[in-house]
Amino acid sequence: MSPDTLFSGVRIVADGVDLIGDLLVRDGRIADFGPALGRPDGAILVSEPDAVLCPGLVDMRAALGEPGYEYRETIASASQAAAAGGITTLAALPDTMPVIDDPALVRLLRARGEETGSLTILPYGAITRACKGEELAELGLLQEAGAIAFTDGGRAVGSARVMRLALSYARGFGAWIAQHPEDPSLANGGAATESLYSSRLGIPGIPAAAEAMLIARDIRLVRLTGGSVHFAHVSTAEALDLIRQAKNDGLSVTCDTAPPYFDLNETAIGEFRTYAKLSPPLRKDSDRVAVVAGLADGTIDAIASDHQPRDADDKRLPFAQAAPGGVGLATLLGVTLAHVHNGEIGLAAAIALLTARPAKRLGIDAGRIAKGAPADLCLFHPDRIWKVESGLLPGKAQNTPFDGRALEGVVLGTWKSGRRVFSRS
């Protein structure tokens, strides 16, 4: 039996918790927390002045290279990057090779997560076979095998008929659908947000309206079916207005965003900087400001890493041909904290967006500080500065859109079920 661990004199922040004090871990769970608990005999003492202790981060949208794209990322390398970023639970996208449309693959990914000892992997099942958007996968069997929800990953379900069937079928067994909100017919062939900026660079554009159009359609389908939809990496003001209204109308509609969409704008692509080619593409600054407002007012339910590992050869191409995507596990907390430091969002609200709120949407026991809760924990110093440098990030893939950025907020340690799985040297 492992010894107890006592975190002493730290700021403990979680949904509904914000205090200076101690937290005791025993047998993989939180035994107690509060001011001045006292150190049990033989307990490991963790004392970091001015540090913040929060639940391990819950990342509700990340791509893993494995199976099929191990040259980009493996489960082992992703788990190392996640631990370094304070992430202890990760929902993995199904658009691998083969696609996660088979119950055996769902069980395999869950088991591979357990094998890491540091990361719980919650696989999404594919909505459609091979993520082709044509024929529904066996959603019920995938859920029985452990699929957390259903999505076609980076591909939108473009057919209204197929999306209607998916929402109806998933509703029958209490499941929900996550959509990549981008009208495929408008996005096809595009590489950046359609604007004067992309026109000046000669980059084929994707109109920002492509996002709102698909969201408007799917909200209508939720009204029709009584189903439940979650919109991933929302990035435009118009889309957020639609989601805000749907929530006010009592519909089962939620959404997340990712750090690039509240921290960067379209100018980050610079002179054809492919590390900043993402899907959806970076938007105008007015949209970035609207995403910040959506975080502050509660319209956005979670901040996800939207981790999309790419090999160097995927990016060393002309901008229009380069693969979209950026890594985000190691920078998830730091970029979010940048907007705490500038006063746009409070620390407790930011932590909730990274922990309790995604855990609630996923329906899992994670992301909370409470007696008896799993001791999945992240300890970080909110004011220490570090620089994001491609080539030096934890994990295999290095395609970060934040390359060269200085961030305040350093993860000092990560614990999974009470066991320390990351320590900053």
Phi-psi region of 325 (alpha: psi -120 to 50; beta: other; left: phi over 0): left
Per the listing, tokens 């391990």 go with 56
Output DSSP code: residue 125.
Answer: B
From the candidates 22, 59, 306, 403, give the one annotated as an active-site residue: 306
- Alpha-carbon span 91 to 124, nearest angstrom: 7
3-state SS assignment for residue 97: coil
What's the distance, Cα to Cα, between the start and end of the chain in Å? 26
φ, ψ of residue 352 in degrees (nearest 5): -60, -40
3-state SS assignment for residue 305: coil
- Alpha-carbon span 288 to 208, nearest angstrom: 12
The residue type at 259: P
218 is catalytic: no
- Alpha-carbon span 139 to 200, nearest angstrom: 45
Please check whether residue 94 is in contact with residue 153, taking contact to mean a CB–CB distance below 8 angstroms.
yes
Distances (CA, A) of 118 to 46, 76, 77, 329: 19, 10, 12, 14
- Alpha-carbon span 376 to 80, nearest angstrom: 15
208: which 2 tokens? 């920002």
Output DSSP code: residue 6.
Answer: E
Catalytic positions are 306
